[in-house]
Structure 1
Amino acid sequence: MLIRAGFEIHFETMQPTPMLAALNVHPSRRDDLRTPDRVEAFPNLPLTRYRDGFGNVCSRFTVPPGGVTLKNSFIIADCGQPDIPAPESSALPVESLPDDVLVYLLGSRYCETDRMMPLAWSLFGAIPSARDRVNAITDFVHNHIRFGYEFARPDKSAWMAYEEGAGVCRDFAHLAITLCRCMNIPARYCTGYLGDIGIPPIDAPMDFSAWFDVYIDGQWYTYDARHNEPRIGRILMARGRDATDAALVTAFGPAILTQFTVHTDEVHTHKARFSPGAIALPPIFINE
């Protein structure tokens, strides 16, 4: 199947403001692209691209006083199959994990493994299978957190999401990742496009989504604590230890997000679903 996806984002600034953006498709999906994946800036700004330590494609640029609009639209091929669940398997001993996977066992800014370790072992310690532990963790997080954009906060960590029992998709992902790491199952944060493909259309503005991968039996597998069911048509943009590593835009100074629209649709459909309003704004990370 083919998917058309893209976005339009506008920031207002009062002074020259450096920014980083991870708004391109992740290199792991590069061969699936059928049209160029090109982020454009209006006014025309020089964008310098590089790959960060997690393999994400990043652009750096300086926004002039007044602001900038960032746009992209592309077509990508997808297998059209839902997420593949992990096989039945015992968790790999920590000493047997590859070196580059160990970082996804460690605590990070939004994933406080030290605070959540006792809870994790009390809830999931009796489950021997790594796959069954991940399923139990995903079910727990899905049932424990109430979803709502009004609960979004850029400083909310996994512990805070657990305590408050409310959040957005990134909070579901952070809590599930933290509990997996506490159980010695490597887990990483992912963000990207997830359209209403293979499910009844949802009458709400489209947004970017967050989910997580777990490392079981030598492979990475995708899970989604917010939706808690295999989905079709995920398009990965960035991944890392948590949302810090996969922030779609980082502004090094004051920047006000005033427009945010995302679209992702099957190409053969005639009714494009393009969000007309900016009511679901994702967190923007600002260095001050």
Structure 2
Amino acid sequence: MRIRLGCEMRYAFPYPVPMVVMLNVHPSRAADLEAPDTPRTDPPVPVEIYRDGFGNLCGRLTAPAGNFTIGTDAAIRDSGMPDPVHPDAAQHAIEELPAETIVFLLPSRYCESDLLADEAWRLFGHTEPGWARVQAVCDFVHAHIAFGYEFAHRDRTAMDAYAGGRGVCRDFTHLAVAFCRALNVPTRYCTGYISFIGEPEPHPAGDFAAWMEVYLGGAWHVFDPRNNSPRIGRVMVAYGRDAADVPLTHTFGPNPLVGFRVWADRIASLDASGDAPVLPEEPLPPQSMATRTG
């Protein structure tokens, strides 16, 4: 399967503003891209690409005053299979964990696993360690939080989401991450694309999404407390301890966003020879505005 994915963000800056963006597909999926998903800007400005401490690709630039657009557009090969499920994946004893996973056991800005530890063990201490326990966390969070874009708030933490019972996908993920870390399961926060391939219509407007990966059975596994079911066409952009590590855009000044769209669609058209599908030459039609935190 081939998927066309990308995004476009339009700003109206009052003066030149430095930015750091995370819009490239994660290096772990770079080999699946048909061409580099280099960020493009209008008007054109230099974009310096570097890797952060987690290995995510970041773009550094200075946006000029006035109207400014930044985005990406690429085609990626995908298995077309839903997220893998490994119910036999076992939880590791802490002393057996690889050193690089330990940071994902610690509390972080939005995931106060230390403050939620007692509640985590009260709710899930009776469950079987490993895959079943993580799934129990996701089932609980999925049922506990009411989803709504109107509930988006950039300062909401896992504790806040637990107390308030509402939020967007980052809030579902922060709460599940905090619970899992409190239960001694290394858990990292992920952001990227989730397509609607295979999902019943009508589909909502495209958006970036948040989910998590847990370390069980010697590997990282996807769990999605917001959707709470395997999805087709999930493509990671970045991972970190929580949303503070992986903002799609970080502006060092005012950031008046005036337009936003995201797409992750299966490419169905074929070229004249009947071989590989081709990308349409025209830009994708505009979608309705959607929050970046969904």
- Give the Å deviation of 1:71: 2.2
Distance 1:19 1:176 in 2: 30
Identical-residue share of aligned pairs (%): 46
Query: Higher mean Cα deviation, 56-65 or 34-43?
Result: 34-43
- Give the Å deviation of 1:246: 1.1
Contact kept in structure 1, 2:173 and 2:225, CA below 8 Å: yes
Distance 1:92 1:103 in 2: 15
Equivalent residue, structure 2, for 1:57: 57
Equivalent residue, structure 1, for 2:134: 134
Equivalent residue, structure 1, for 2:162: 162
- Give the Å deviation of 1:88: 1.8
Contact kept in structure 1, 2:11 and 2:68, CA below 8 Å: yes
Contact kept in structure 1, 2:81 and 2:232, CA below 8 Å: yes
Segments of 4+ in structure 1 off by > 4 A? 272-275
Contact kept in structure 2, 1:196 and 1:202, CA below 8 Å: no
Contact kept in structure 1, 2:37 and 2:72, CA below 8 Å: yes
What is the CA deviation profile of residues 214-254 of structure 1, one whole-angstrom value per residue up to 9, with x for unaligned ones? 00011000010011000110111111111111111001111
Distance 2:112 2:88 in 1: 27
Distance 1:275 1:172 in 2: 30
Instruction: Structure 1: state its 5+ residue gaps.
Output: none
Query: Higher mean Cα deviation, 275-284 or 87-96?
Result: 275-284
Distance 1:26 1:254 in 2: 27
- Give the Å deviation of 1:277: 4.1
Equivalent residue, structure 1, for 2:250: 250
Query: Higher mean Cα deviation, 90-99 or 47-56?
Result: 90-99
TM-score by length of 2: 0.92
Distance 2:195 2:286 in 1: 15
What is the CA deviation profile of residues 130-165 of structure 1, one whole-angstrom value per residue up to 9, with x for unaligned ones? 111001000000000011000001111111111111
- Give the Å deviation of 1:28: 0.3
Contact kept in structure 1, 2:206 and 2:287, CA below 8 Å: no
Instruction: Structure 2: state its 5+ residue gaps.
Output: 271-279
- Are 2:286 and 1:276 aligned? yes
Contact kept in structure 2, 1:102 and 1:186, CA below 8 Å: yes
Letter in 2 for 1:20: V
What is the CA deviation profile of residues 187-214 of structure 1, one whole-angstrom value per residue up to 9, with x for unaligned ones? 0011111111111134321101111000
Distance 2:11 2:104 in 1: 32
Distance 1:81 1:283 in 2: 26
Equivalent residue, structure 1, for 2:186: 186
Distance 1:69 1:139 in 2: 39
Distance 1:204 1:128 in 2: 36
Equivalent residue, structure 2, for 1:81: 81
Task: Give the 3-state SS of the residue equivalent to 2:116 in structure 1.
Answer: helix
Equivalent residue, structure 1, for 2:108: 108
Alignment of 1:1-288 (within 5 A): 1-268=1-268, 276-283=286-293
Number of residue pairs aligned between Structure 1 and Structure 2: 283
Distance 1:163 1:261 in 2: 31
Distance 2:210 2:123 in 1: 24
Task: Give the 3-state SS of the residue equivalent to 1:244 in structure 2.
Answer: helix
Task: Give the 3-state SS of the residue equivalent to 1:115 in structure 2.
Answer: coil
Letter in 2 for 1:136: A
Distance 2:46 2:90 in 1: 49
- Give the Å deviation of 1:276: 2.7
Contact kept in structure 1, 2:17 and 2:253, CA below 8 Å: yes
Contact kept in structure 2, 1:193 and 1:209, CA below 8 Å: yes
- Give the Å deviation of 1:36: 2.9
User: C-alpha root-mean-square deviation of aligned residues, in Å?
Assistant: 1.8
Contact kept in structure 2, 1:261 and 1:275, CA below 8 Å: no
Distance 2:89 2:57 in 1: 33
Letter in 1 for 2:229: E
Task: Give the 3-state SS of the residue equivalent to 1:28 in structure 2.
Answer: helix
Letter in 2 for 1:264: A
Contact kept in structure 1, 2:170 and 2:293, CA below 8 Å: no
TM-score by length of 1: 0.94
Distance 1:178 1:223 in 2: 14
